[in-house]
Amino acid sequence: MQAVVGLLVLIGTASFSELARNFIVTFPKIEQFINEQSRPFIARVYRPTEKVRTLNPHHPGQIELWVSN
């Protein structure tokens, strides 16, 4: 990789509004990840499990590094 960018990929079979909602509630974790991770990178943003979402619909998802240089 030669570009100096970070790419986040939203993972999950869900509507755009559900993926957007997850992005918003996960944003503090995403922001921390972006501040700590050197670029370039590709990271996946996951939604919480259905069980967790049922118990707490505002529970943040997870972010995991997928590819880094």
What are the pLDDT digits (tens) for 14-36? Answer: 999 999 999 999 999 999 999 99
The answer to whether position 11 is within a domain reads yes
Q: Is residue 63 part of a domain?
A: yes
pLDDT above 90 for 3: no
Residue 45 lies in a domain: yes
How many CA within 13 A on the CB side of residue 52? Answer: 10
Q: Specify if 1 maps to a domain.
A: no
Average pLDDT of the chain, as a whole number: 92
Number of domains in the chain: 1
In a domain, 18, yes or no: yes
**Residue 51, phi then psi, degrees to nearest 5:** -60, -45
If DSSP codes are grouped into helix, strand and coil, which group holds residue 34?
helix
Rounded percentage of the chain residues whose pLDDT exceeds 90: 84
- Tell me which residue range forms the domain holding 25: 6-68
Quote the CA–CA distance of 23 and 35 in Å, as a whole number.
16
